[in-house]
Structure 1
Amino acid sequence: MQKKTIFLAINLYYIAFTTFSQVSTDLIAVDAKATAAGLKIFPETIFKVTDRNAYDNQPAFINEKQMAFSAADDKGNHDIIIYNFESKKFTNLTKTNYRNEFSPSLTDCGLFVSTVTVEENGNQRLWLYPTNFGEPELLYDDIEPVGYYDWYDNKAAMFILGNPNSLVYPYSKGEIFTISQNVGRSVKRKPKSSIITYIDKREANDINGQISYAIMGFDIENRTYHQFGYTYPGAEDFIWLNNNLLLMGSGNQLFIRKTNSKEWESVGKIELNGYEHISRMAYSPKLRKLVLVMNRSVN
């Protein structure tokens, strides 16, 4: 990976990433099967996709065989890497000078992997990288600084850094609609729906000293709001396994909650020597693989 110039004027989001990346993280995969009723994990299948004292994070499946993620080299330069579960090989999707790429995701059309890209001058915008390794292109030139996002109808609902942070959706060039403010970093489309879900930090409960935030949804088509209960106390990263089940991690444990239930249910532990603290996650129902980001233990 080639060296990139990092300017002193770089924004708070990238500072947050570089601070977070000081904690070494790996991608841990395990076979898992989600149904409408629950999630079954197969602990005997746990394996380390990555095994480096560095930042490997933000996994996202882009097809039945491949996953994209953001990785840092020993100089702190971030690129998007593609991992093939069939061949077990890694390929650079990006290898850029003067830019750093985070938060990969497959676009609705399937032709691009989108990324939050920190540019040479510190701008932080959404870029599209063709899956055929063609030339990248900038998507929204006037919407920044982008933090996190997800897709609906070939447009991105975007977490925008500010005071407070906000979540916006560009219905058109002339209508950048603000969905909510003071949102968390998890922005996920509810499967098979037009609902973008997010963490609303304006609504919180204190449960035995741990904060639990509201999980809200905004229906892009109908412009209506929906509530999907609260996060697992002390955790902020969630994904949808299907349109009925939410998944979160706390410590080394995984928890699910049905949309019609208030209670989180433990579905097991990821016990792997030298690893702790599950954060981001990705699940492929076709591959039946669950990928977890876990911290390498300090001791």
Structure 2
Amino acid sequence: MKPIKSLIAIAFSCLPIMAFTQISSDLIAVDVKVTGSKLTITAGSEFLITDRPLYDNQPAFINDIQMAFSAADEKGNHDIIIYNFESGKFTNLTKTADLNEFSPSLTDCGLYVSAVTVEEDGKQRLWLYPTNFGEPELLYDDIAPVGYYDWYDNKAAMFVLGQPNTLVYPYSKSDVLTISENVGRAIKKRPKTSIITYVDKNDFKEIAGEKAFAIKGFDLENRQYQEYGLTIPGAEDLIWLNKNLILMAKDNELYIKKANENTWRKAGEINFPGYKNISRMAYSTELEKLVVVMERVED
């Protein structure tokens, strides 16, 4: 499989102040096994999916062979790209000269890839892009600016940028609940539950000079809060490997813990020449692959 070297050049449009960090980053895949409460990395299985001095980030598996991610071109425009693990090929889901798309995710119904879209006038809202490449649709016209989100019951729990940032869930147009304020960017549904989880930046402990934030959940069915311990100090990105296991990363190291435990255990490292600092992650149970975003090291 050859890593992507270039994307279609598309015209630049100005971005507002955003929650997305623009760094030169690539996607790296590694084979893993999740058994019980352990994650095991297959040594030597690491490979570059992308290889460009630009922004390739925010991976999300959309089925058992494909992954979506946000990619910038040389002019600064961002589109959603689909990568096929079987063929090693890339396809533009979006090719928009006047829009920028971030944070792709498969909707509950499976018919759309959603994305946070920065529109021509600077509005930052959630749009739906049909997987059959049909015309996109705006989902929530009055909720903005959206930064991050995840799905439950065909509705999106959304991180809305502001002072402070808020986490909201639209039960209906007239019932938009604010779940929490001052939340981090890791908005993730706990698998096989009705619980949306988030990082609460109001609640933290100082450990060795770094902040460890509380990981919390909100059950969207019974409207009750949950607690899942603290993040790794100095880190914020997390994903659920399954209903019971949370994965985080710091520097080049991976850490895992059960939802009902407070202690993180080191699961391994991803060391790839020319790269450092794992940030975003995506995991496929079917492929038994973990995809991580890592920052390119300048020569």
Alignment TM-score, normalising by the size of structure 2: 0.96
Is the aligned partner of 1:166 residue 2:179? no
Residue of structure 2 equivalent to 1:3: 10
What pairs with 1:73-222 in structure 2 (closer than 5 Å)? Answer: 73-222=73-222
Give the structure 2 partner of residue 55 of structure 1. 55
Between the aligned partners of 1:248 and 1:60, the Cα distance in structure 2 is: 16
Give the distance between the partners of 1:67 and 1:139, measured in 2 at CA. Answer: 22
Q: Which amino acid aligns with 1:26?
A: D
Instruction: Decide whether the 8 Å contact of 2:117 with 2:124 is kept in 1.
Output: yes
In the TM superposition, residue 6 of structure 1 has moved relative to its aligned partner by: 2.5
For 2:187, what is the secondary structure of its paired residue? Answer: strand
Please say if residues 78 and 102 of structure 1, whose CA atoms lie closer than 8 Å, have aligned partners that are also in contact.
yes
2:163, 2:36 → 1: CA distance? 39
CA contact (8 A) 1:124 1:145 kept: yes
**1:258 and 2:258 equivalent?**
yes
CA distance in 2, matches of 1:41, 1:154: 33
Q: Give the letter for the 1:11 counterpart.
A: P
Residue 5 to residue 72, structure 1, CA distance change in 2 (3 Å): closer
* Counterparts of 1:108 and 1:49, CA distance in 2: 26
After TM superposition, give the deviation of residue 36 of structure 1 in Å.
3.0
Computed over aligned residues only, the root mean square deviation of the Cα atoms, in angstroms, reads 1.0
Kindly provide the CA deviation profile for residues 264-290 of structure 1, in whole angstroms up to 9, marking residues without a partner as x. 111111111111000000000111010
- Structure 1 residue aligned with 2:17: 12
After TM superposition, the structure 1 = structure 2 runs for residues 274-293 of structure 1, keeping only pairs within 5 Å, are: 274-293=274-293
State the shift of 1:34 in Å. 1.4
How far is 1:4 from its partner? 3.4
Any unmatched runs of 5+ in structure 1?
none
1:246 aligned residue = 246
Shift in Å at residue 151 of structure 1? 0.1
Residue pair 1:30, 1:290 contacting (<8 A) in 2 also: yes
Q: Report the Cα distance in structure 2 between the residues aligned to 1:36 and 1:188, rounded to whole angstroms.
A: 21
| Paired amino acid for 1:183 | V
Q: Is the 8 A contact 2:187 2:197 kept in 1?
A: yes
Percent of residue pairs bearing the same amino acid type: 64
* Structure 2 unmatched ranges of 5 or more: 1-7
SS at match of 1:74: coil
The amino acid of 1:138's aligned partner reads L
Q: Secondary structure at the match of 1:221?
A: coil
CA deviation string 1:110-150 (max 9, x = no partner): 00000000000000000000001111000000100000000
Whichever residue aligns with residue 129 of structure 1, its letter is Y
1:145-170 deviation digits (Å, cap 9, x = unpaired): 00000000000000000100000000
Residue 97 of structure 1 deviates from its aligned partner by 1.9
